[in-house]
């Protein structure tokens, strides 16, 4: 289970005699967070800070046929093959069928100010800063275009850009 990245981190950790229990820090891509000892072994001078999820939503994985699926807090559904799956692919988009901008008022976006998103971040940042590492703040949900692709679907997003700019 897991992606190439987590497998590489596990292999390196085992090679150096370190803990090979590598947590996944980004679900969709199955990106692993190497343990501190491994980062030090390679003299990595940066440390990532990942935003938390909200305290009113929790990821729920479902086993459906040959896939593991989940719906993220934005309503995008993702699936990964159970056998040899490396990462999750989008399989449905919550805004793909809207045709007019006024329909967006019915879509409930996640609360960016939810206190759960910030729990423990200050302490983590202060700890990393005290150790002298540069801090990389990871995005909470892709970039501007990625979010549009995910919410509308790639095809619909590009059609909107070209022919329906109000959307």
- Residues 1-34: tens digit of each pLDDT: 444 566 777 788 788 887 777 788 888 888 888 8
Per the CB < 8 A criterion, the answer to whether 150 and 93 are in contact is yes
pTM attached to this predicted model: 0.85
Mean predicted confidence (pLDDT) in 75-92: 94
| Summary mean pLDDT of the chain | 89
Which contiguous run of DSSP H or E holds residue 9? helix 4-15
Instruction: Quickly tell me which residue has 């692993």 as its tokens.
Output: 32
């Amino acid at each position: 289970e897991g992606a190439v990245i987590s497998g590489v981190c596990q292999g390196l950790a085992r090679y150096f005699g370190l803990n090979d229990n590598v947590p996944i820090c980004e679900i969709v891509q199955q990106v692993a967070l190497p343990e501190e000892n491994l980062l030090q072994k390679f003299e990595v001078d940066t440390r990532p800070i990942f935003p938390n999820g909200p305290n009113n939503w929790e990821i729920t994985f479902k086993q459906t046929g040959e896939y593991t699926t989940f719906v993220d807090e934005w309503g995008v559904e993702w699936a990964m093959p159970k056998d040899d799956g490396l990462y999750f692919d989008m399989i449905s988009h919550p805004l793909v069928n809207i045709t007019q901008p006024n329909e967006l008022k019915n879509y409930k976006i996640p609360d960016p100010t939810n206190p759960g998103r910030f729990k423990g971040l200050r302490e983590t940042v202060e700890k990393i800063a005290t150790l002298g590492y540069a801090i990389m703040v990871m995005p909470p949900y892709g970039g501007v275009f990625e979010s549009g692709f995910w919410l509308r679907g790639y095809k619909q997003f590009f059609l909107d850009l070209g022919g329906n700019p109000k959307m």
